[in-house]
Structure 1
């Protein structure tokens, strides 16, 4: 019995709304009609908040057209974004009610701030469609407490929305008709008004006799078709899309429009028709060729841009500093290792992804750009989802409203990790090449002096010196192979480097011990060879290879399960029997070589290093991670 009473009560509410509509059929009263509808709905559902939101297609927003219970400045002023995260847009797209029983627990949608300001907790969105299933807006009921909207509530709201659609459509048709009538009121003016129109105009009687015509666009005299049947003047129109539109508009008394291409013509024409109160039909048409071409070109440009973004792997973003809304392109998500939608795009999400050492700088650069209006440009590291460190370059621009407040920022981002690493390697290589060149000159000079002292004559000197020069060339040859895809084993590298430094005179002074065939990647060889060269050059100039009775031992080992669960290569370089010029400790052998060992190796190879000068010679330990695949260094 209670359910039946509730149904009867809601039917009476619909009837009261119908009576109100019958008494207010002026198009200017649309807002009043919608407001009364909101009042009756809120009263029936025992809530003090309700509103009607109208779609604004050009803005991609919804306009709060009417409502009750809202603070001043909301109804008739507030606009909401109709993005894919909007519950209103979702309801319209699904063509069905969308219920949110508790917005605090809702994860599907973003909600406007003014809802939270009014204490809204639960709401229902019901789409409003005009005849022909044309979306017009949303009927929304809001409550300040968690509420389970029942089936009867939803059915009542759906019925109400279905009743609103025809009412709104009828008033809109009246507005369009009155506009057409105002335009046609000028038909009794002098003929030059018709002739001077910038678009084609015609007036058709109910039997399709042409009452008025302006064929300026087609170059025919104005008076030619007047008084004749439209179908006689344009026989090809019968049964065409244009002819069908005219017949429908005349019979159903509704305004219609069509973009079409007349048979045999290269022009595209936009034709609009409006029924007139006296039974006639006003027809307007204009050349739409340029606009259509512009639209097609825009579509092509958008496709080109989309392809360029995808091929170039450019990540795009669009940020609203006012609402906090952020949109990322598919490529932008991928730069962090995520699929679209896996995390919520936001300014904080972007900032949190940046490496902690670069975060403050990237944020400060963006704030500076916002305050000064200059373009944003910043390079920074981010932590990828898989834990890898990637280098990104971001550029963007802010847009401001009339009062100078930032309202939008768009930008692009590219991953240039490989380029950055290459740039760093090139910079290091140039620096090391300069130092290596100086070192090589010193080594050659020392080698020439020693060879001369140990040679009985010029012929013996020439043979020994050439042999040592050839050994030095061999190590450079090893390095030159790195770009060909070859791999150099550590034992090959150390043997070649030491042979290049001291040749056969090293017999008995050097002991090498370790497994053979530990293959190294090019990035490892380049830096490691420089380090070994520095150690060898120092030994030749100051240490074990320069003094009688001194010895050099290089021992290496392969640790399968080292730090981090990865294999490691351990190298122990130990000189003994060296008469040191001063007490052991840092100082005499500092400089570029030591900088390379103690800083470049850890930074570039993730190595652990230790260099010290003992009482009887230099001691250096190196450890670097290697991969399982063929014992290749990472």
Structure 2
């Protein structure tokens, strides 16, 4: 009879193992499988209670994951610390089932209080190991009365947990795979700016995911079965780029896919992606995975930026002014146009980013340097500035004036990231301005002098009984002198030109009896006015009474340069008339002309003069300092 009972128990336990195995194959939910495992074992061992405890928190606690016969506040809620003296820890450490027939007499370990409170008297702990002997937890069978668990009970539990471990491991992997697939699906379905699709070994589309439909416009029904070359532009297909891409991926495992592609509506989208070769277990190519991001807007923006930068460089490199860009924080140059070297006289490499800022600042004149740096700091705070400063070029030592326009360069948020500017060489404008200022001052000075001379000529002419005609003739001499000043375009006149002009005003052509000779000498405007009047008086007298009146007369006008005791230049001019019989030259002629030569030139020009009526004509010598 006892043998019959044992055989029946064995049959039931084998049936439980078979039923559990079949159930575990069909069910994919871990909690359902664990609860069914507890139900079956509690039923076959007749305890009515069983639970599975899962190791959690890196081995620091046990969680009651499943169970039958327990109150609702136990299963799914209770966590037990894995103390060194617990029955659970003891069983895991023993790596085999541990039986306690009566926990009241147990000396090997402690039993959790909630189990005592639930009336547990006897228990059997069977550790559960995953493949690789990794501890998962325990299967615990609880009895509310003393129970003598037999060796057959222990072996059954050990067999049961051996079967349970791989089931749990498989369901973990199914869960992880499902979670991974769910995450992948969410990513794939949510990444609508990523074109993701799969092709077969002949590069025909087999899987057309939502991102691909969003980027390229074709629905799965339209795309599946088509060659992926439908996405290539006509020019790329003509160049064989579609075939090259697949051959590269087939040969090297992957290939870049960065190019313009074709949308269903004929427009173009720029894709940055890659093609990855898919292989089967026999390493044969079974298809290709293609993933690419739609970066059309960024590509268009990049191309526009490149075009803008190219236009900027063309403008900057063609401009005669220096175009520059600085880092707003460090004030170091990041770009300078080719005109920099022409203006500053040093290579642009000496001031570009990474080089000492002082190399540029040292070129600025010390009096201007502080103002220039203050201007840059103002621009850095967002204020455009226009200013001028001076530099001294190291290659030729020349001082140059620069007109500067500095302005902030801001980002999309309005923050000053860089500052830019244009430097123009205004040295010639400055010099022209100075020349104009000097010219105006000289004109005012010359006008005052001319008015003074005219007044003096008028007074002398009228005081000596001269007529208005005489006055007008003398004004003509002054006019001729000022005409020469305008002709020379400066504030000096060449002496030879002045002498020849005055003589030409009195004789129709230069006769052979007139000699004019001397080196090139320039007289200032002040000297010209008085000297022209002296030459006029000498020429007029020569025409009326002297060498230019008679055919026998001769006239020599010569001059030379000398130096005084202090090595300063002086002009020595000799007016010599000859061939004039003394009886025809007895006129005293101490009129205005002689007064001008002997007195006015001495006063106005600090000249030394000598006027002599010789036996055959006039001899006049004029010596004056040159500036």
Q: Please give the TM-score of this superposition, normalised by the length of structure 2.
A: 0.44
Q: Please give the TM-score of this superposition, normalised by the length of structure 1.
A: 0.43
- Tell which structure's C-alpha radius of gyration is larger: 2
